[in-house]
Amino acid sequence: MINSQVQLKREQFVIQIRKQAREEIFSKKRLTVLNGNLDADLKCSPDEMIFQIYKSFMLKDFKTLKDLLYKYNEQFLIILLRKQQADNIFMNQYINHFGVNQETIQLFMQILQMSDIPQLGSIDEITILCINQVLVILVNITYLTAPQIINNLLSQEIQDILLNDILGRMNTKKNLDENLEVWQSIIDSLCQLFINLLLDLKDQRGVQMKIEILKSPFFKIWQYIYKEYPPQQLWISILYLQQLLFMEPAIQGVEIIQSNVCLIISTQMQRILKQCGYVIKEFSDQDQLYELALILINYCTQYQLETTIVLTKQLWVKMIQINKFPLLMYSLFINFTSVNYDQDSPASELTTEKHLIEIGLLNNMMVWLSNLSDENLIIKIYKCLNNVLTFQYPQLANVVIYHFLPFLNLFLEGQMIQKAELADEFLILVKNLIKFQKLTEINLNQIFIEQNVMQQIRVILLQSCFKACNLLNLFNSLDLLSIEFKYSVLKRIVEHQIVDILNMLYTKNIITDDCIDTLMEQIAKWESETNKLNYS
């Protein structure tokens, strides 16, 4: 049951949304961990190692090749991390290998392709480890801010090699099962490399790469792997990559139409959503994974809201029970309730608001409101509540009038300077109650007499912390009231000097000519109607 006593705590309470996960990716690129000694002497130049790598690759000595690739990568990391001027000669050699020297980068591409081994044929573990070691090298070299490296990799068809040659070797369950643990490492490296590439590609090339990733079998392969209990690090990498696919530069509708992949992308989004559901069900105790899942669902609502609702609806009760990251959770619920579908639309059968009410959304709102005074969360809760209020449900009006309206009134009264967003939600709350809910005379008396909402509206007007459209919408909803209640509203407009305040706002150019004219016309209309009532 909904808590009948609203408790307002004045102490500041900060809701912690784990930003570390996103910052790890979006403030810097991925860099694999170094286990070597930073003080080690660099006895072999990168150019010398490249010659040895080439020689071992030509001889098909993959064990030696793996060790050389590891050493090549380890030495690069030592140079990168210790940042000594004496290492600049070697660092320049590394940069030349990937940014200038076509033969060197072609060598690495050939190792990734392993063209002598049929794609659908069996491939042994040591060969896969060589492929992965090259991927790790590419992850670390693309950590550098060096556009010539990215351009050179793209000119060598790196995208095609990653998405076709490498993923093509994993495209059967049999091949995956043979070396599952090593293939998991490959997937992790692919994620980190794509993350680095996409963070550098802020133009149309980045958009196209995102589309190609979605068109590829990447997430189909992952759909099998994640059910085999992969390590948490792999989960984090894949969720980061998926999150990045939805960020700027974003895939717009025009790109989807032009590339004729709308159905494919829709299928991949469904896979992503099902995977998020798996995380919510299986890993709710792992905050980082759980948060990333909520973020991904949020992004999906911006692309295909109806699909997201259908595929996540069974998870909502679980999310409310888990009750973590309320800012993210309520952002989701806001998106889910943000569209009013026509009755003829198939989406109208989703009954989103009804389902949320019946699984305990209102009670969850009251729990959060009773234990904090964080404005950002309060705003999100009331945004969500105002969306829900557009749906008629038994006792919903009573719950809002006797619990949510008093809380918001009390909270606003305790603010020296009211936040515009919260003040607007107050205006919308009153408007939605009148416009969408079947209010009784008792309800209306509670709103206008006991709660005296016009007093709070007066404060909002005096502080100029509102959008004119919300004030106009509220006055339009008041026009739906009976003449008797319009008379009650007029009395409070006079009592709280609302007309004088509106004129003052107009003289200060806070509201426009059209706004003041519309409001005054409404008030004049109510006065005329109530005068006729009194005359009769």
| One-character DSSP codes across 451-489 | S-HHHHHHHHHHTT-S-HHHHHHHHHHHTTS-HHHHHHH
Burial of residue 217 (CB within 10 Å: 0-12, 13-18, 19+) is middle
Q: Residue 466: pLDDT above 80?
A: yes
What is the predicted pLDDT for the residue at 281? 94
Q: What is the pTM of this model?
A: 0.88
Q: What token pair was written down for 450?
A: 């006991």
Interval 121-156: pLDDT, tens? 889 999 999 999 999 999 999 988 788 999 999 999
Which amino acid, 349? Answer: E
Residue 96: CA count within 13 A, CB half-sphere: 10
Average pLDDT over residues 313-331: 96
What letter would DSSP give residue 349? Answer: G
Question: Both ends of the chain: CA-CA distance in Å?
Answer: 47
Angle, CA of 382, 387 and 392, to the nearest 5°: 115
Distance (Å, whole) CA 260 – CA 263: 8
- The mean of the pLDDT values for the chain is 87
Which amino acid, 428? Answer: I
Q: Residue 443: pLDDT above 50?
A: yes
Which amino acid, 445? Answer: N
- Ranges assigned E (strand) in 4-107: none
Interval 18-38: pLDDT, tens? 233 334 444 445 556 555 566
Distance (Å, whole) CA 197 – CA 51: 27
